[in-house]
Amino acid sequence: MADKGAGRPFIPVGFAVLTVSDTRSLADDKSGLLLCDRISEAGHKVADRQIVPDDIEAIRAIVLQWCADTAIDAVITTGGTGFTGRDVTPEALEPLFEKRMDGFSEVFHRISYDKIGTSTIQSRATAGLIQQTFVFVLPGSPGACRDGWDLILKDQFDYRHMPCNFVEIMPRLDEHLKRGAGKPG
Q: Is 184 domain-assigned?
A: no
Sheet containing strand 133-138, edge to edge, reads 45-52, 14-20, 74-78, 133-138, 126-130, 99-100
Residues 6+ apart with CB under 8 A from 175: none
Question: Residue 46 is part of which domain span?
Answer: 13-178
Q: Is 102 domain-assigned?
A: yes
- The tens digit of pLDDT for each residue in 131-165 reads 999 999 999 999 999 999 999 999 999 999 999 99
- What DSSP designation does 7 have? T
C-alpha to C-alpha distance for 12 and 158, rounded to whole angstroms: 8
- The tens digit of pLDDT for each residue in 2-46 reads 666 668 999 999 999 999 999 999 999 999 999 999 999 999 999
Q: Is 128 domain-assigned?
A: yes
Q: Is 183 domain-assigned?
A: no
Judge whether 136 and 74 are in contact, CB under 8 Å.
yes
CATH of the domain at 18: 3.40.980.10
Domain count within the chain: 1
Q: Is 142 domain-assigned?
A: yes
C-alpha to C-alpha distance for 125 and 153, rounded to whole angstroms: 13
**Global pTM?**
0.92
